[in-house]
Structures are given as C-alpha cells and as structure tokens.
A and B are shown apart, each in its own frame.
Chain A
C-alpha cells in the first residue's frame, strides 16, 4: 500500500508541479493564510531577498480553505511550498506523517535556541510530542483570541448612566464572561446615532474551526481541561464537567441574546465586518487583526479599544498563531532553512512586530517598551500568558470536526442540552482515539 501511495503521490506531485510551473533555482515559496500579517511578512521578506539573493514567492490561501488546501498539499507530497506557516494543530500530523523537517540539528548547528522564544509558543507551535525537545517549527506568529469594543460608545454619558442604573456598575471593559454578557445585553437592539446596534459578534462558523475557537474561549475561562490527566486521553468528567456545561450554556445564551440577526455561520471576516460597519458594540477575533482594526479610519483610532478574553473561574484564552516549518518534500530545503535562520534573528523579529506581525521572540516581548508600543500589546502579553490550544494530535481534523458539529448543533441549531452535547463529544473523541490506538 505504501508503494501505491507513493506512486499516487508522485503522480499527483508531477501534475501539481507541471501545473505550477517549474521553479527556478534560488527561489523559495512560502505558504500561509491570506490575512493582514501575511502582507507584513511579504514586506519583511524583502530584506531576506536582498541579503540572500533568493527570490521569495508567496502562496496565501483564504482562511476558510487554508486547512483543506494545505493538508491536501502535504498529504499528496506536493512541492508547492518550501516553507509552511501551518496552524498549531497540524504539528502532530506534520511530524508523525513526515511532512515537516525536524529542526533540532539545524537549530543546534546555527545557535538558535528555543529558550529565546516565549515558552507557550514553543510548546504550542514547535514541539511534538508535546513538551518534548523535538522541534518541527520555529514560532513565527504568536496569536490568541481577544476582544475589541467601541470605546466611543462606552464613553457616552447617557449610556454610562443607563448602564449604571441597570447593572449598578460603570460601563467598562468586562472583567468576567458574565459581565461581558451583561454589556452585550445592554447594547442589543439599542438605537445609537439612529441605527440599531447589537451586543457582540462571536464565532459561530460551522465549516472549518470557527465555533470551536469561539466556544473554547468560554470553556477555558471556566477552567476546561481536555483530559483528567495530561497524556492519558481520559476525558470523561473533564470535557463534560459541570463547569464545561456551564460555560457552554453561557456561550449559547450569549449567542441567543446578543448577536446580530442572521449571525449563524460567522467567523473572522464576519466578525470584522460586523464591527467595522458599526453594528456591534463588542467583537471577538484574533489579535492578528488588531493592528488593522486600530488603523481603520471609521471605527479604529480613538473609537476602539481592546481587552483580553475575560476570565470566569480562571484566566484563559484560545491560542491561535503558527510556527514556520520546512516542508520535507521541498527540493530547496537548504534555502528554506536559511530563511528560518534569518527569521530567527532578534532584529528581524523586532521588525516583524513593527510591521504588524506578532513576534514570539523574548527579545521583543520582554522589551520594556513592548507593552505600550501598541494599544493591544499589553493585552497580547496577558493573553499569551494564559493560552490553551485545541488537540494537536495527528487526528486533530477529526477531533475538530466532531466538536464543530456537536457545538453548532447545540448553540446555533438548538438541539439537545449542553450536557448532551459534551457527553456526545466525549463519545466522539473516545472513538477517534480508539481508532488511533491511543485508548
């Protein structure tokens, strides 16, 4: 079967190679998602092109298709990408299926130390098995799910007064998830400047990872754990704990009470659109978008402010972000490694942050001026101190899709109870791990 697979992969690679055209020697193709930080990386990479004489090509895929497109590419042994900034959850599959080059020897030979990067990002983006010193990526883009809101609306005296009267506290950035829902309820359906506005835009998307990334923000704040004992795959009582049920019920109540009409399949773009069009008072999204939001001429600047995902029982944020890996099918691995060596330099990392990328390098993050360098920089540091990621197992896609379906069925379609949804999720995940031979 392996020989047949290889033959099929070779044929597919041949077709893809022919389709993409021959790549000249001394060229590198970097694959990533199409979003604001990718543009910053193009700008940053010009310096590498000048220094090395290597021409950089970029393949940026829109987020909804990014996983499908790139995982197909990797699974078929495609040579489209020399470098891939892949999602953190792909690291297990990338390592175990031989898609990514192991970087330990390269790091040692070039004096690149993982101690120079934020521990949470090294753990999440680089290591497999988790927590071991086996590195398959260099932390490239730190990210977490955060919140932003209409600071100008919050500051209006009449709204301050009305909120104080209703909730007995000032209208301000929420400190807990329940406070966040109060604020969302307060704004829901309110007339502001002659327009009906809504409470919050949250992630509800069904097709890829949206609703899971939104819900985990609430789950982590309630202290959610994937396993009773890390590494045991013992999920009963952890995934469907009373606290997890409470968190899920909270997310559904937030969806039911406080989102704009028709907000049934919304992810990053919809969240940004809802905020930029002045429809919502608050919105969740990845920190990666915050520089663009702050620069927006209509709703940015002094009209916007940011806050970290509020805690409830504990502080917790959903991890985003990615590491940069060398694709093992690349015929220019040397060039790709050179790029990583260049990218790991502290001064390049500082430029990366200045251009709008989120560096995970300690030299940048620990700089005394970092927290005040942008209005969201302090929140970013706070979020990254308490991040949690989804499963990073090779079977992550099945685990994710099971959660997407269970969560969307409960939150959006209103089927069953939170307890049933989480019990069902435990059953689905148990089946996956049994198939994987881990249970």
Chain B
C-alpha cells in the first residue's frame, strides 16, 4: 500500500474506532486477530485430546450414562498392551504399512523416472496413471471386491491367463494367506500415483547442468543415477514415505470395504479394531487408551523420521 493510500485508509476510519485502536498495543491487536483461531484450536483439537487422555484412565462407556465412572489408573493401557489380539492387529498393520510403502516407492519411483523421459503421449500417460488416486476409497474398495470375485473377477482371470491357475480356485479376499496381500495390492494400485507425482517433482527439480557436468566427467548413466538422481530425489521420496506411512497407519475405509477385517482377523488393522472397540462395543475409556497408544506411536515414529528427513535435506 502506498503512503497516500494508507493516509486515505486512516482518514476513512471512524474517529472513535481509530481512537480505541490507537490505545491498543501492536501485541494486543495481534492477539485479537489470532484469538478466534486459538480458541477454535483449543476447542476442537486440544480439549478433546486432553479429555481423551482423561477418559483413558476411566472405565467410561458413552452408551451407559447411568453407570458410575471409575478411575482405573493404567488398567486400560495394561490390558491393551498385554492383549494378544491387539498385537495381532498391530502385526497386520505393520505388514500392510511395510509392503504398501515398499511397493509404492519402487513402482512410484520407476513410473516417475519413465514419465520424466521425453516421449510422445507423456501427458496422457501421466493423467491416466494418476486417475486411481482421484477416486473415493469406498468406490475403489467396492469395485475391487468385484475384481477379486473368484467366479467373475477380472483379477482372477488375469492370474489364470498369466499363470494357468484356474480363476475360481483361489479367493483373494477369502483366504487368510491371500487377504493381507489383496489389501496391499489395492492400496498400491490406488496410491502409487501419489508417490510417483512427488518423485516426478523431485526428478524435475534436478538441474540439467549437473548431468551435463557429469557427462563431461565421463560418468556412466549408472553412476549418474546413484550419485545424482537418487541423492537429489531422496528428500522427496522420504516425504512421500512419511505421508503414505501416516495415512496407512490409520487406514480404515478401503480395507473395511474390501474385507471388513476378515477373513478371521487377518486384515483387521489397528484403526478398524479401534473403531469396533469405540463405537460398536462402546468401551470409551478403553478405546481412548488405545487411541492414545496409537497416537504416541505414530507421533513418535513420525518425529524420528522427520529428524532423519531434515538431516538428508541438510546434506
């Protein structure tokens, strides 16, 4: 704003308001502006968090308003951490998390590397590849249940075509050995484009002159890839891993739609189990403790990871 414009604005301010504002310090005015946001943050984020921590030490059930609430100390935490079923859910979550990230990083980076090459139809391919991540997880889950259908599913027929295994002889969602992989495949299909886009941004941020200098130094393509491409894309790749890691740790909708946590409990991820405890069994105190444990786990792991990411960026 120019000096004259500021003068005009000052003149336009009614004298009584101007007098009042003139009496306030800059700090007070700043507080007045941020107060609504802080209030909302406290009401929507901080208070529920503190309330959840409190509930986690009680036997409170939201569906039993008439029942006395007792302070149970660390009993909920102890019960959760010694429950074999919950460790099985954690293992299922870890399996899902690990393999989705491995596949998404490998395929996502490969696709980004290929798309980064100049070729005809480059933009069309990029658009087609990113389509799955535009879809709703509920829709994706629903139509993959059809693709996995042993009698009519295209996935089973594709496997039959490629391997000769009869299509109706295996059930991706119905057998305990295949179902954990079935959910990994669908999540990889849906979210690899996201990793690809981030890697593509990383690849395109590498200036051409670095490769030209390497060419002058007669560095092989292989050496250029390992000493230029990978180190320079690594911060982007790590960021993609962070995003996907946090997302998949709390994965719910896609897997519920695909398997509902079954068969048995082999695909019952921690978040699905938490929802059942909180809103189907109504064990509010217990599930609050469960939520706190998950929160601390993901927050702790993410913090360590972010420090590592910062170190990589500094290099």
Contact = CB atoms under 8 A, between A and B. Distances in A.
Contact of A68 (B150, B259, B279): B279
A78 to B, nearest CB: 13
A413 B281 contact: no
A206 interface: yes
7 contacts: A205-B260, A262-B151, A265-B263, A398-B281, A409-B264, A413-B262, A413-B266
B62 A261 contact: no
B2 interface: no
A412 B263 contact: yes
Nearest to A414: B176
Interface stretch (B63-71, B209-217, B239-247): B63-71
Given A5-B65, A413-B263, A401 B281 contact: yes
B203 to A, nearest CB: 41
Interface residues of A, number: 34
A265 B173 contact: yes
A264 B62 contact: no
Nearest to B256: A207
Interface of B: 59-60, 62-66, 69, 148-151, 153, 168, 171, 173-174, 176, 256, 259-266, 276, 279-283
A75 B174 contact: no
A438 interface: no
A262 B282 CA distance: 32
A2 interface: yes
A301 to B, nearest CB: 26
Contacts, number: 88
B173 A1 contact: no
A194 to B, nearest CB: 15
A264 B171 contact: yes
Nearest to B268: A405
B63 A261 contact: no
The 10 A-B residue pairs with the shortest CB-CB distance in the complex, in nearest-first order: A413-B264, A264-B174, A261-B150, A409-B264, A262-B150, A207-B260, A413-B263, A206-B262, A75-B63, A1-B69
Given A206-B262, A264-B262, A71 B63 contact: yes
Nearest to B283: A398
B66 A97 contact: yes
A257 B59 CA distance: 44
A264 B60 CA distance: 35
Contact of A206 (B66, B150, B260): B260
A207 B313 CA distance: 45
Given A261-B151, A262-B151, 7 more contacts: A71-B63, A72-B279, A75-B63, A96-B66, A206-B262, A260-B151, A409-B265
A397 interface: yes
Interface of A: 1-2, 5-6, 9, 68, 71-72, 75, 93, 96-98, 205-207, 260-265, 394, 397-398, 401, 405, 408-409, 412-415, 435
B309 to A, nearest CB: 38
A397 B280 contact: yes
A264 B263 contact: yes
Given A5-B65, A93-B63, A415 B174 contact: no
Contacts of B176: 413-415
A413 B65 CA distance: 37
A6 B276 CA distance: 23
A187 to B, nearest CB: 16
A2 to B, nearest CB: 6
B189 to A, nearest CB: 20
A261 B173 contact: no
B168 A264 contact: no
Given A261-B150, A262-B173, A264-B171, A5 B62 contact: yes
A97 B65 contact: yes
A201 to B, nearest CB: 13
Contacts of B276: 401
A408 B176 CA distance: 11
Nearest to B264: A413
A97 B149 contact: no
B259 A265 contact: yes
B65 A262 contact: no
A98 B60 CA distance: 17
A172 B261 CA distance: 38
Contacts of A9: 65
B281 A98 contact: no
A81 B247 CA distance: 36
Given A2-B65, A5-B62, A397 B282 contact: yes
